[in-house]
Structure 1
């Protein structure tokens, strides 16, 4: 059995105590972090190694962005794709040594506030990022798990109000269609929705702007774990840890975890 978790941590140094809390309680074999917000030499490598996660692949950047994959199992870094095409650290790919499994860790751009590439450069960059991912997906030939903050909630049940968010970046029809093309390019299986089936409520992000996130519950499912078809058949469980949104100094995202029988 192998378990893989993903979490947009929104600054790994600031939130190291809750990362350690999560690792103690849930003990995933592999943890993929997004938005680590630090350069490689500032990543808390030693603290995580002391917890048993001594195998690490870090693609950091000063200030914003950045992804890292840490593991109790031996991993080998195999790729860093610049799907943003501007040098931002938003992807790292590893293989689990001795297992026929690749884990791709990605942080898709948020896309700004206006869903129009003519009026909002960031929205165009997000769509172009997804198109580059789609061209890459055409070349995937190994059992692959792609995880991370996709910054898109594709299904109506992935948001607190489909009607009110149709023109809000992260749930617009154009973004959903673009993400679907990526999914179809390799035939990825949405593991979250295999185990928590539509139309059941499934959120992974709640804005900091909400004074009482649990009471208002205006969430969105922005974080995903998708697998190649054969690998998806080996998934035995998937769960989220919604209570992590209430931990001290929380991320606005919560962790997801999937277990596989390899």
Structure 2
């Protein structure tokens, strides 16, 4: 059963409903995972999505911030919604397809501005969240699974516009990269995007602070698509829909895609 999956930090699903509908119409992914929905679940405009064939949804929401949702043309059953670091935030939802594949959709905390947990509680929360992810994957090794989401870390040197300048900037500091790597290793997750696109600068986020974001191109690859080794080889066609960052009233993130032949 081949299917195409996309992950996108939409930065308000209600405000950017037209962009979600445009993506659905133009790119037609079978499964769309959204982060930072900023909406209670009952306020997500699912009727418009259902009209385009996305008749299945599992989600966790909060008013005004956080929130994750999986919109699918394929039947999907919720299997978990984890509260890592005990934050009480809507940052994870997982569902299982009829073929047995489990899809985890994560929104890892951004971590604030200062990369020091002694003076910045949000940075500490981010590290604790990643530690809990690691421990959960150690406790129950995932199989036949896909993990997507805004993980808010650009791990590789070529995942940021300037590695040396970014080393002390939250999202690319060594301690964050180490924590993300530990979570990835615990689940034996394969970075599908980089397996398909192994070399070169690759970004999925460009700051709103740069009005000339495209030509300046000071981006970061914060959005990820991983798979367990037993199905990673079935993935192909990875891409970042960069031009979506230039749509009218855009999210600061671009969607990331992959297709799985399963």
TM-score band, normalised by the shorter chain? over 0.9
| CA-based RMSD | 0.8
* Counterpart position of 1:3: 4
User: Where does residue 167 of structure 2 map in the other structure?
Assistant: 166
CA distances 1:103-155 after superposition (whole Å, capped 9, x unpaired): 00000000001101101100000000000000111213421100000000000
Structure 2 match to 1:219:
219
1:131-181 deviations in Å (ceiling 9; x for gaps): 000011121342110000000000000000001010000000000011110
CA contact (8 A) 1:100 1:142 kept: no
Distance in 1 of aligned mates of 2:190 and 2:132: 19
Offset of residue 231 of structure 1? 1.0
Asked if structure 1 preserves the Cα contact closer than 8 Å seen for 2:141 and 2:186, the reply is no
The 5 Å alignment of 1:128-139 reads 128-138=128-138, 139=140
Instruction: Find the residue that maps to 2:226 and give its secondary structure.
Output: strand
Which residue does 2:65 correspond to in 1? Answer: 64
CA contact (8 A) 2:13 2:38 kept: yes
Confirm or deny: 8 A CA contact 2:142 2:228 kept in the other structure. Answer: no
Paired residues of 1:158 and 1:202 also in contact (CA < 8 A): yes
CA distance in 1, matches of 2:85, 2:43: 23
- Which residue in the other structure is 1:257 paired with? 257
Q: In the alignment, which residue of structure 2 is the partner of 1:127?
A: 127
Given that 2:205 and 2:253 are in contact with CA atoms closer than 8 Å, whether structure 1 keeps it comes out as yes
Q: CA-to-partner distance for each residue in 1:229-257, whole Å, 9 max, x for gaps?
A: 11101112211110000000100000011
Q: Specify every segment of 5 or more residues in structure 1 that has no aligned partner in the other structure, as ranges.
A: none
Note the residue ranges of structure 2 that are not aligned, 5 or more in a row: none
Matches of 2:165 and 2:28, distance apart in 1: 38
- 1:199-234 deviation line (CA, Å, top 9, x unaligned): x11000000000100111000000000110111011
Once the 2 structures are TM-superposed, how far is the Cα of residue 31 of structure 1 from its aligned partner?
A: 0.4
Q: TM-score, normalised by structure 1?
A: 0.98
Question: Hey, what's the Cα distance between the residues in 1 that align with 2:97 and 2:156?
Answer: 31
**Counterpart in the other structure of 1:148:** 149
Q: Which residue of 2 aligns with 1:186?
A: 187
Normalised to the residue count of structure 2, the TM-score between the two structures is: 0.98
